[in-house]
Homo-oligomer: A and B are copies of this chain.
C-alpha cells in the first residue's frame, strides 16, 4: 500500500495490520524511526485537532513537519491550480497529509505525485485515519472487532467519519443501528452496499429503546444549520442528546465514542461515567497515525 485515501481501498488484513502496529507502538514494543523524514500537512480546511494529532505522531517518532493551515497563505490566491501546488510541495517532503473540502482531493493528489498521500478528510466523503482510530478504540474496549452491536447517531448523510467507519466495520459482521433525522439518514449507495454484503442494519429516529442492546454508541454532531426549519431542530435535538439518565441499564462493556468536537449532543455529566471513552479515543488517534505514517513511509 502506497497511499491511504479511502477505507474502500483497504482489505480486512490491511485494517488488522494497521491496528496491530498501533498497538505495538502504544505498548512501546515497536518504535519506528522517522528521523530525517518530513511530512507536509496541507490543511486547506483548518483543523487544529487533527493537525496536532498528525504533528504529534510525526514528532514523537523523530520526524518533522511542514504545516499549512487554511487557504489564506497559499498560492491559490495567485491563481495556481491545486495540481501545481501539490506537485511543488511534494518536492519538499516525504509524505503528504491532505485535508480539503473537496471530495476526491487526496485521490487526485495521489495520482500526480511520487510520494505517499494520506487523506485527512475530504469534504463529506472519507476520513480513513479517523475510521482506523475508531476501530482501534473498539478493539481496545471490546477486545475484538467481530460481531459488534453499534448505534451510529447524528448526521449520517454528510458525516465523512461515519461513512469511513461503516465501510471499515463491514468486514467484521457488525449489527448496525443508524439513528438520525430522516433527511440526514445514511446515503442510499452505502445502504445498498450493506445489503449486498448481507450486513444487518436498522434505521431509526430515536435512541432510547436501543441503548441497552449496544456494545458501542458512536455519536456525531448534529449540525443545526443542516435543518431547514429551526423549530424542527429544537424539537428533534432532545432525541439525539445523550444524558446519563439513559445509561442506567447498559451492558458492562458499553462505551460511547465521538470523533469530537462535541457541541451538546453528549452532556458533560456523561464525561464522568465509565462509559465515556471519547478523550481516550482522541489519544488512540496518536498511535494510529504513528502506525499509518510509519507503514507508508518505511515499508
Residues on A facing B (Cβ under 8 Å): 36, 38, 40, 46-49, 51-53, 55-56, 59-60, 64, 66, 68-70, 72-75, 78-81, 83-85, 87-89, 91-93, 221, 260-264, 268, 279, 282-283, 285-286
Contact = CB atoms under 8 A, between A and B. Distances in A.
Nearest to A62: B36
Contact of A40 (B52, B60, B91, B221): B52
Contacts of A74: 48
A64 B55 CA distance: 10
A72 B69 CA distance: 10
B279 A91 contact: yes
B38 A59 contact: yes
Contact of A221 (B51, B69, B78, B221): B78
Contact of A89 (B48, B66, B79, B80): B48
Given A55-B66, A78-B221, A88 B49 contact: yes
A49 B89 contact: yes
Contacts of A75: 47-49, 260-261
22 contacts: A38-B59, A40-B52, A48-B68, A48-B73, A48-B74, A48-B75, A49-B85, A51-B73, A52-B66, A52-B89, A53-B92, A55-B92, A59-B66, A70-B72, A78-B261, A79-B263, A79-B264, A80-B260, A80-B262, A84-B260, A85-B261, A92-B286
A88 B260 contact: yes
Q: How many copies does the complex hold?
A: 3
A203 to B, nearest CB: 26
A257 to B, nearest CB: 14
A282 to B, nearest CB: 5
Given A48-B73, A48-B85, 13 more contacts: A48-B75, A49-B75, A49-B88, A51-B73, A52-B68, A52-B89, A56-B66, A56-B93, A59-B66, A75-B261, A79-B261, A81-B268, A83-B268
Top 10 A-B residue pairs of the complex, sorted by shortest distance between their CB atoms: A80-B261, A75-B261, A56-B92, A91-B283, A46-B73, A79-B263, A59-B64, A52-B66, A88-B282, A52-B92
A84 B262 CA distance: 8
A84 B261 contact: yes
